[in-house]
Structure 1
Amino acid sequence: MTTTLNQLSRLRTAPELSIDERRIISEELSVQMHLMNWFTVGVMATSADRALKALRSLEDSLGWEPMVVVDSTEASGPVYLKANQKTGSIRIRIEHDLGCGILISGHGDDAGQQSTIWGPLPLNFFQEL
């Protein structure tokens, strides 16, 4: 059975995806993202370095301006990274009991446009596109 973008929303952690699944999900995500004006990204990872690496590969893949870390942790352990494309800021905090993966939220400039969340995508999803 092929995993689709819509099916990911039922998962707590990102699954391993085949090449065909990555292609399908990438195409679906591209179509959906073009309907939005700006994005927030959540990265659940085993470390701040791993989370930041996943975000940087997403920024590179999508041609986004690099965002700036404004708040982080010196502690080691699992983290939740929250990046806001509109403000250009990244915040990283220790967070236990999360899954692992990338969550992307699409937002509109119009208050009536509903936000949408996609993922979790594997941490290496944008490295391999």
Structure 2
Amino acid sequence: MTTTLAQLCRLRSAPMLSSAERQRISEELSARMRLMDWFTVGVMATSADRALKELRSLEQSLRWEPMDVVDSTQASGPVYLKANQKTGSIRIRIEHGLSEGILISGQSDQDRPSETWGPLPLGFFD
């Protein structure tokens, strides 16, 4: 049973979550995100299309401005997508050996240290 963001951070791969777990983690994530100024997002997925779909769901769910793909791959295979909300840029590269999931890092323009949350399961923001 995974019920907190701290428990997720110990995992290499995103777990399946029950509805109750998803709700608790979503509430905790929202509270933590309110303390930050901007975010970076990492998506590990089986394809560039899937990774971009997950990011677009996250952007829509959190009411973020859509970011622009500035670098991608035409090759097929597992990818790592890195999005930077401050620069508005998305980079996608082939990356073998990763599991699937979403990582969000909260950044601060002040002296607050960054925090990383996840891996959240793909589909978390649908």
Q: TM-score normalised to the size of structure 2?
A: 0.98
The Cα shift of 1:99 comes to 1.2
Q: 3-state DSSP class of the match of 1:60?
A: helix
The Cα shift of 1:97 comes to 0.5
| Cα distance in structure 2, aligned partners of 1:103 and 1:10 | 12
| Cα distance in structure 2, aligned partners of 1:38 and 1:49 | 24
Corresponding residue for 1:87? 87
The percent identity for this pair of structures is 76
| Correspondences of 1:66-105 after superposition (within 5 Å) | 66-105=66-105
Runs of 4+ in 1 over 2 A off after TM superposition: none
Corresponding residue for 1:113? 112
CA RMSD across the alignment: 0.7
| Cα distance in structure 2, aligned partners of 1:50 and 1:13 | 17
Q: 1:75 to 1:25 in 2, by over 3 A?
A: same
Where structure 1 has 5 or more consecutive residues not aligned to the other structure, the ranges are none
| Letter paired with 1:70 | V
The Cα shift of 1:2 comes to 4.3
The Cα shift of 1:3 comes to 2.5
Cα deviations by residue, 1:69-95 (Å, 9 ceiling, x for unpaired): 000000000000000000000000000
| Cα distance in structure 2, aligned partners of 1:121 and 1:85 | 18
| Correspondences of 1:1-129 after superposition (within 5 Å) | 1-110=1-110, 112-127=111-126
